[in-house]
Amino acid sequence: MDERKTVYGKDILADIKKKTLYAVAKKTCLEALTHVYIEVKDGVLSATATNGSILAHIERETFLEDFTGLISPKDLKESVKDGDDAVYIEYDRQKPRFPAYKRLKPETFEAEATIDRRSIIKAINDIKTSSSGVRVLVEINGSGGTVEKGNESGWETSNFVAKSDSPIELAVNYKYILDTMRSMDCKDVIMQFSGELKPLVIRENVLASDYVLVMPMRMD
């Protein structure tokens, strides 16, 4: 039988909402993907959300006892909107069926780039309406980055500020990049690339425990 647990802290709840909620699946046969997955272990609260193409994960210190559970987007939004210091979540003593997300994050990378967050947001916004599709090509090298989007007359290009230790070229859903960049607060973000069709890792700091995984799209 399901029981109730409580996640405390206005700042933690606000972070969970801002930094993970955009990755929750809108509709799926697996109920856990329409919620934020909460895991508390050894004084660390982890909040993770994924729709299968993007995954957002944060970690915060907590005094709560160990447990796992699911927060509904509706309850989370209402708690943050009302300025509540806590939100109740339903949990089952049997661990919720959530993907083994820790296995998805690459351990090694072919290239790492530092990107000006506001700059890439502007670059994508400049070209995102050039056609109906969501795929954009992102290229980064030692001197900067470009975003390209195809339309009826060819390719439209917009530049952004970035630098990379090795060239990076990939195709991604621009909505996922925009959502990720808007969820972050820093000036520069770190993008770690491990292969054309392997998850792209985006984080605010290379040592930070928070991260976002974005699945690339095929280049052809």
Give 89-107 pLDDT, tens digit per residue: 665 555 667 888 888 889 8
pLDDT, tens digit, 9 for 90 and up, residues 147-200? 998 776 778 899 999 999 899 999 999 999 999 999 999 999 999 999 878 899
CB atoms within 10 A of CB 105: 14
Please name the fold of domain 3-103.
Answer: DNA Polymerase III; Chain A, domain 2 (3.10.150)
The superfamily (CATH) of domain 111-214 is DNA Polymerase III, subunit A, domain 2 (3.10.150.10)
Q: Do domains 3-103 and 111-214 have the same CATH topology?
A: yes
Angle value at C-alpha 30, between 97 and 78, nearest 5 degrees: 90
Residue-range domain boundaries for the chain = 3-103, 111-214
Full-model pTM = 0.90
Angle value at C-alpha 179, between 107 and 160, nearest 5 degrees: 80
CA distances from 169 to 32, 49, 98, 177 (A): 33, 26, 31, 14
CB contact at 8 A, 56 and 46 = no
Candidate from 1-5, 21-25, 93-97, 126-130 with smallest mean pLDDT: 1-5
- Tell the residue number behind the tokens 């930070």, with chain if given: 208
